[in-house]
Structure 1
Amino acid sequence: MTVSIALFTRDLRVHDNPVLHAAATSAEHVIPLFVLDPAITGGSFNRPNRAAFLADSLHDLDANLRELGGRLVVREGEVAEVVATLADEHDVAEVHVAGDVSAFAHRRETALRQRLQQSRRELRVHDASITVVPPGAITPSGNDHFAIFTPYYRRWAAERKRPVLAPPERVSLPKVRAGTLPKTADICTGDTAPDLPAGGERAARDLLRHWLDGPVDDYGSSNDDLAGDATSRLSAHLHFGTLSATELVSGAHGSPEFVRQVCWRDFHHQVLAARPKSSTQDYRGHGDRWRRSEKDLTAWQEGRTGYPIVDAGMRQLLREGWMHNRARLIVGSFLSKTLYLDWRLGARHFLDHLVDADVANNQLNWQWVAGTGTDSRPNRVLNPILQAKRYDPEGEYVRRYVPELGKVAGAAVHEPWKLPEAMLKDFGYPKPIVELKEGLDRFRAARGKD
């Protein structure tokens, strides 16, 4: 009897899962394993919103594996030791795992490989499980990664993608103790966002079917419509791997605008793989001496800056554990350029609340907005009023998340300070914490450029 282990990490699905597929075809029996590592549950990255989504996803993964004749085996402990012990108990020849790019993932893979080598067992890493094109698979001449998105996208679009894999026909377990599926509180304690999305592969596939059944076709013209909410909302499922990015791109091939956005995810993964320190250090520094203002930071975090479009985005984050992509650009520019506060403060707040936050996309998107990353125009500043009038022209998005201004009609909601002072006071909405010209002048002086 041959046995393999499919170690689940950020690939919590049975559809199009190279790890599960390889493990199930390489041996007569497979142990689908998830390890609750104290390095994660006790670390700074673990937060209630993602813990709730993870718990949902693990329970759903177990249900899907049961339909295939198996179930999810859960253990708690340091990954390398847990996997090696289980491999010894069942004489496992191969352990399969998805490749990943974070520093933690690299340490985990190295420790796992070294531990398995002690008992002459093999670790097989599947690099096209989390991204569409593996990081490092395409590189420019004379460099180890692409630093500019457009040439990367051209090569990425031309790259032959792996085929989408069907779920295994059957998952046959050896005799093994399954363990207990964790609840949210077992992973992380604390309050979750009131309108948090449900996790799990079945929820992901429902969203996928809806998205591909029409809305994706209009993505190019509607993706920045804040009030229309015309984006896929699949980012959390991509982060946890309850949906395959490869399957998503395959299904959305008729919408090049949407596929291009998915490519940004791969782009950031290949940057982080080549430059792991960019998760905390400027990719391209400008000698910034960031301001320090707990008052301004708190106002931004709570959605009390006095700029309704900024506040709407920040309150959407607190309510849903998610934020519209256009709003992310607006609030990011406001923090790092108008307030001139360190982008790492914004990235940390997003990590605390976003369900879809991973190191590559969160940190490098923040660097792009702050002008310390791969943006070819690092000193551009997004004017929140102009952005609001363009992408929320009737103020519907603002009124949805800033109820104090719910009675203000039309675009007037974007500049409430122009309303009679008595009315504004009655609303209980704050005055702007900074004048836009003041913030722009300060940023330009700090960067030394127009």
Structure 2
Amino acid sequence: MQARAPRPAAGVALDAAVAVVVLALPVTLWATGAMPFVPWGAAATVISCAALFWRRTHPTVVLAVTAVLGVADTAAAAPGGALLLPLAIAVYTVVSLGDRRLGLLAAAGSAVVLDGVLLLRGASPGSGVVAAVPLLLAVAAVVGLVVAARRAELASARDRAARAEATREAEASRAVAEERLRIARELHDVLAHQVAVVGVQSGVAETLLVDDPDAAREALAHVRTASADALRELATLLDLLRRGDEEAPERAAPAPSLARLDELLDAVRATGLRVEVRVEGDARPLVPVVDLAAYRVVQEALTNAHKHGTGRARLTLAWTPAGLGVEVVNPVPREAAGGVAAAPSTGHGLLGMRERVAAVGGTLDAGARGGEFVVRAELPAPAPAPAPALDPTSPEEPR
């Protein structure tokens, strides 16, 4: 066993106290004459007791010293057992510090050797000294095992607590990251459309300001309306973030959903984007998160069509038994089709759409195809199972 780490001051004081207390017992017996004073035995006893000061920093060495001196003293002096207590403490220390195999073997071997030496020196097999040797060493080993088990249990509990704390910190960090992503996505969804309208209409107003003042004023009216809508939606979102969902203000607008699709289309068309809408299949209510995802996909796709397209877009809502397909197609300007972007874009809109659709278990595909830019999302929306038909021939249940 290797040397242990340096002891703290409290550990040094405890080990010194143990060595002094153990040495005080034979000194008292010598002083009262209860045990004969033998110079060799006294020297061995002092060395064994002093060695206990290093029992936790060098447990194996201390065990060897106390065992060898105990056997030597027993073989050379009158049977008094003065070195049995230091040996027992050394056995306990080795076992409690984790080297159980060495400690148990040392206890068993020392008991056999010491009792053998005692019997050879004429001690009676039934004498108290012969019985005390294995009993005391066995008790020391058992106490060491109990202490080692307790230490292992405490170490395991501390390790579990540390892992639990690390897990909580990781979960908290993940929750913060997810919340930041959600806030960023909501801010983008709330502002991107209105800011795009402001940018396009202000450009229109600047172009027509001299040649067609009436059209320029109309474009500026759209800018004013879009700016007011953006500020109102931003204020609502910030209020929600400050108060929390449970304390949402009563003045907050209804959550975006396909039920408000006509309002979105009217606002988009008012900015000059011509949108053709086609619905396939029978519409049905959606889960709120899926409904919100569908609305945001339409909003972002139409915003992109307005910013980067040619002024036209086609929206298709395809209802199937398994879900809802949302597709927005707009022609791509020639310069964009040739590899030059029609307008600057960060790409955050498409990324936000992908994350939102993936969060509800759907898929999204977006890209240029044959002169058109296509955004298609597949959202899970299984049709409810039909209610079981009642059998008219079955007897009516008693009321």
- TM class by shorter chain equals under 0.3
Task: State the TM-score, normalized to the length of structure 2.
Answer: 0.19
Instruction: Name the one with the larger helix percent.
Output: 2
Task: State the TM-score, normalized to the length of structure 1.
Answer: 0.18
Select the structure of larger CA radius of gyration.
2
